[in-house]
A and B are shown apart, each in its own frame.
Chain A
Amino acid sequence: MMRTRIAFALVCGVVLLVIGLAVRFAGVGTEGGRQPSDPPTTAGTDTLPRIDGARERGQAIFEAQGCASCHSIGAIGNPRYPLDRVGAKRDDISIREWILAEGTARDSLSSTVRRSKTGYREMSPSDLGILVQYLTTLRTIRIR
């Protein structure tokens, strides 16, 4: 019947409109012209030094803690806050403070971000140490 045809056309229109706006936003907001056809990077594993397996553990902890929902390494993860050169900019003490939202880092973070970091305080000291050590090794940009 006519009403269902119009309704189905509207459904298709709504979905296509959303996809169109999403593509438009993605195109406008894209940084550096990377397109979805570009192959995903592999976190620059070739350029990372091997430190007695700590890198792999560090990567595993980075993934398990969901750090990639806010940060990226090697273009994997949230690209708004890349950590590719964090090891060149901060020492291990500073990185630990930023992870835990403590010390001088605390004042630089919004209350929302501070709350989101409370989970890191429940990490075991060894995992936290490995994560910090891993981040200190990130000294080069690894986007291919």
Chain B
Amino acid sequence: MGGVPEIVAWRGAGVNRSLIVAVAWCFAYLTLVCAPLLLLPTDSGGPFAWNLAIALGYGGLAIMGLQFALTARFRGATAPFGIDVIYFFHRWVAVGGLVLLIGHWGVFRVYFPTALGVMDPRNAPVGLTAGRIALLLFATVIASSLWRKRIGLEYDLWRLGHIALAIAAVVLSAVHVRGSRSLTESTPLRWLWIGYGCAWIVLVAYVRFFRPWRLLRTPYRVTDVREERGSAWTLTLVPESHSGLTFRPGQFAWLTLRASPFAAREHPFSFSGSAADIPQLSFTIKELGDFSGRIGTVAVGERAFVDGPHGVFTIDRHPDAPGFVFVVGGVGVAPIMSMLRTLADREDPRPLQLIYANVQWDAVLFREELAELADRLDLSVTHVLERPPADWDQPRGRVSAAILDDAIRRAPSETVFFVCGPERMNDVVQRLLHDQDVPLRRVHSELFDMV
């Protein structure tokens, strides 16, 4: 991928168009959530609380059903927002949906306890039992996502459970709606739910069967496994019998190793290589979790599957920026390396600054290559170490307001900032930049590790 044509193409899909597309998708989402409520028959009669409970249930179920579309990774729909924010929205709107469903059950529990029938599933109507189990499953899915690490649930197991329980919860909800027959005698509403049900089945089939099948047909082969500083490894992959994918520097992909794409054992990692090096792909992965802790045991020749690219954390969204400042912590340097390597390959003349925080000098990933890149680019690198060696003459501790203030003073106005590190560092740096009057529109970060 050569530089200029792609940048022009990306600019063609510029901010204004992205905004229009984003607003259109928001409108479509709201319409789909609200449609069951808008089609409720207004002549249904019945007490206020009864109708309120039914409407809350329909709203909550519409939100839960649409959760599958949010995480289906449709690039056209996610591009204007960034898929990390889509997942952020997915996470919190699920909590909102659960609140609505608990409200649905709670209003019945308080005002119409008899309508809930007996609890014993052997004697209770199937529809009501299905509703109870669905509510419990939704609560379990959300709780296990919010507190996965706290309860010590392994990622792959969580992911499989998340998928299975969420599908079961929606199916049981459909049984509940059909069994309770609440206002579904209304023809438009009945057809709407039938339509939603069919669309949901198609969506699940696409995500769980068609897309894995497509990935299976476009495998990659591991050609290099290189140990880096700081317990990190760089994997290099090349496509097998296909042309591979193109990506923007800073984007990421879901990587499957030692498993079939159907097994849903995939993990998101940023590309760390130059976007100009395609079809070869590189990922730099630190030994941190269940999956990444074994990354060093991957052997050359192993097969891999890559679902991507995703994300909007890329310099290519800002072709008119006069320069960039990168504020990075630890392995967060991976997507920034992709940006710097690509900028070097493109011979980009813009002024760049890298503020790179680590604990100790020995663990600084790519420090030698960064020194070389500083010669090829208009790049200044500031290392910040928490535990520096005795003769250290650069900043100590963590990224501070003074360090950022110095970077802001040296940067041209309208410089764009990219922040990539641990969640705590990202929050602090973004707050410090905000305090120094850098507008949020010029500060970009990516959400990792949401589960």
Rounded to whole Å, the gap between the CB of B429 and the closest CB of chain A is 10
A7-B89, A14-B30, A40-B110 in contact; A77/B42 too (CB < 8 A)?
Answer: no
Rounded to whole Å, the gap between the CB of A20 and the closest CB of chain B is 9
> B interface, how many residues as a size bin?
35 or more
Is the beta-carbon distance between A18 and B59 smaller than 8 angstroms? Answer: yes
Most buried by A among B26, B47, B56, B441: B47
Question: How far does the alpha carbon of A68 sit from the alpha carbon of B112 in the complex, in Å?
Answer: 9
A1-B445, A17-B30 in contact; A23/B52 too (CB < 8 A)?
Answer: yes
Question: How far does the alpha carbon of A43 sit from the alpha carbon of B110 in the complex, in Å?
Answer: 14
Chain A residues, Cβ within 8 Å of B42: 25, 28-29
A-B contact count (CB 8 A): 178
B218: CB under 8 A from chain A? no
Rounded to whole Å, the gap between the CB of A55 and the closest CB of chain B is 14
Considering only CB atoms and an 8 Å cut-off, how many residues of chain A contact the other chain? 53
Is the beta-carbon distance between A64 and B123 smaller than 8 angstroms? Answer: yes
Is the beta-carbon distance between B89 and A69 smaller than 8 angstroms? Answer: no
Is the beta-carbon distance between B443 and A18 smaller than 8 angstroms? Answer: no
Question: How far does the alpha carbon of A10 sit from the alpha carbon of B49 in the complex, in Å?
Answer: 27
B194: CB under 8 A from chain A? no
Question: How far does the alpha carbon of A19 sit from the alpha carbon of B99 in the complex, in Å?
Answer: 10
Those of B109-165 within 8 Å (CB) of chain A: 110-118, 123-125, 127-128
B binding-site residues for A, Cβ under 8 Å: 26, 29-30, 33-34, 37-38, 40-52, 55-56, 59-60, 62-63, 81-82, 85, 88-89, 92-93, 95-97, 99-100, 103, 107, 110-118, 123-125, 127-128, 179-182, 426, 430, 440-441, 443-445, 447
A binding-site residues for B, Cβ under 8 Å: 1-8, 10-12, 14-15, 17-19, 21-23, 25-32, 34-36, 38, 40, 43, 62-66, 68-70, 72-73, 75-80, 112-113, 116, 119
8 new A-B pairs (CB below 8 Å) besides A15-B99, A75-B47? A8-B92, A11-B96, A15-B96, A22-B56, A40-B113, A69-B128, A69-B180, A78-B115
